[in-house]
Amino acid sequence: MTSPISLPAPGTRLAWALTLRCPECGARGLFRHWLRLQPRCGRCALKLDRGNPDHFVGAYLVNLIIAELLFAGGLGVWLLAVWPDVPWDSIEHVAVAAMILSPLVTYPFTRTVWLAADLIFDPPKATDR
Ligand SMILES: [Zn+2]
């Protein structure tokens, strides 16, 4: 017997997640504020941590990977643009600021993208609502 509810395609889930929408139904308003996720989606009632206290660890990992990739990419572009007269002192100051700010800026996106990835590989169950 097939489910009467059609699940969003993986690409749709990820696109919704990248725009901070619910990867299950596309609703907005998943965050109380930039760093605080609502407990459930207001439209489909999906538990946004899926009822798993370790769910945050996956989002943290995605956040760390994205922050490091942004740092490495930005540093590489900067070095190529100014080589061989590299302003090492400026790079040091900007790098410290970037490593502090980039995880904060990308945090909500990594939470929703991680949720979307989790839903793709482990589709929602009745206990997720
Ligand atoms: Zn939803």
Distance (angstroms) between ligand 1 centre and the Cα of 69 equals 29
Specify the 3-state DSSP secondary structure of 37: strand
Whether 23 contacts 16, CB under 8 Å? yes
Number of domains composing the chain: 1
Structural domain for 27, as ranges: 10-124
What pTM did the predictor assign?
Answer: 0.83
Distance 103 CA to ligand 1 centre (A): 25
Asked if residue 129 belongs to a domain, the reply is no
90 domain-assigned: yes
Residue 42, domain member (yes or no):
yes
Residue 55 lies in a domain: yes
pLDDT digits (tens), the chain, 129 positions: 444 468 899 999 999 999 999 999 999 999 999 999 999 999 999 999 988 878 889 889 989 998 889 889 999 999 999 999 999 999 999 999 998 999 999 999 999 999 999 999 999 988 888
Which chain residues have CB less than 5 Å from ligand 1, an ion? Answer: 22, 24-25, 27, 41, 43-44, 46
Is 53 within a domain?
yes
If you measure from the C-alpha of residue 26 to the centroid of ligand 1, how many angstroms do you get, rounded to a whole number? 6
Residue 25 alpha carbon to ligand 1 centre in Å: 4
| Domain membership flag for residue 3 | no
Amino acid making up residue 54:
D
Could you tell me if 81 and 7 are in contact, meaning their C-beta atoms sit under 8 angstroms apart? no
